[in-house]
Homo-oligomer: A and B are copies of this chain.
Amino acid sequence: MYEGSLQDLIDALGRLPGVGPKSAQRLAFHLLQTDAATVENLAKLLLEVKQKVKSCKTCGAVSETEMCNICSDTRRDLTSICVVEEAKDISSLEKTREFKGRYHVLGGVISPIDGIGPDQLRIKELINRVTTEETKEVIVATNPNLEGEATAAYLVRVLEPTGVLVTRLASGLPVGGELEYADEVTLGRALKGRRQVS
């Protein structure tokens, strides 16, 4: 539709996740009207992130140093490890301010359809941490869907020999939600996981 570099930019933006052709066009025209310094800064940041950001060698989270901020923070609880699928899940958990331990990023979930088995995930590294560090609890915070549950079940099995306590995030009604709009599986879980309040 457009000439040369503008169309190339629209195509490149359109390949990003969640960006359709219309959004890509809108973004490209926005960038055309943005001052050059801002666009140059964005281009610089894209290159910088690829060069600087690596994986933490302990937990697998994103980090610009060998060990990430959380793993190198001595004030954090060394006895509990929260296992997440992706590095970005850590920020969601950190925002709750409820967890003071450290994390372990699996790098995905077991998914036979996508050809991802336990060996493609950082499970060996997790078992290694549990046996060498003074770990008392492993909280499995994979997503509450089919693959996440299967991965959690697998982790329970492979962690059994270490004798560590393995827990799973609670499933139930979202806070602020309504029973009327909850699906039956979630409501069933909320019933099963009911807590004594008296």
Contacts and interface: CB of A to CB of B under 8 A. Distances in A.
Interface string A1-35: 11111101100110011110001011111111000
Interface string A161-173: 0000000000000
Contacts of A42: 12-13, 46
Given A62-B6, A62-B32, A41 B26 contact: no
A23 B18 contact: yes
Given A25-B91, A43-B43, A62 B31 contact: no
Given A32-B49, A36-B50, A64 B4 contact: yes
Interface string A74-110: 0000000000001110010011000000000000000
Given A17-B30, A91-B1, A91-B25, A12 B45 contact: yes
B50 A39 contact: yes
Main secondary structure of the interface of A (DSSP, over half): helix
A16 to B, nearest CB: 6
Interface residues of A, number: 51
Contacts of A6: 49, 53, 62, 64
A44 to B, nearest CB: 8
Residue from A3, A28, A40 whose CB has the most chain B CB atoms within 10 Å: A3
Contacts of A3: 62-65, 68-69
A48 interface: yes
5 A-B pairs with least C-beta separation: A43-B43, A43-B46, A9-B45, A5-B48, A1-B91
30 contacts: A1-B95, A2-B91, A3-B65, A3-B69, A4-B64, A5-B45, A5-B52, A6-B49, A6-B62, A6-B64, A8-B45, A8-B48, A9-B45, A9-B49, A12-B41, A12-B42, A16-B30, A16-B31, A17-B26, A17-B30, A29-B86, A29-B88, A31-B49, A32-B49, A32-B62, A39-B47, A40-B47, A40-B50, A43-B43, A43-B46
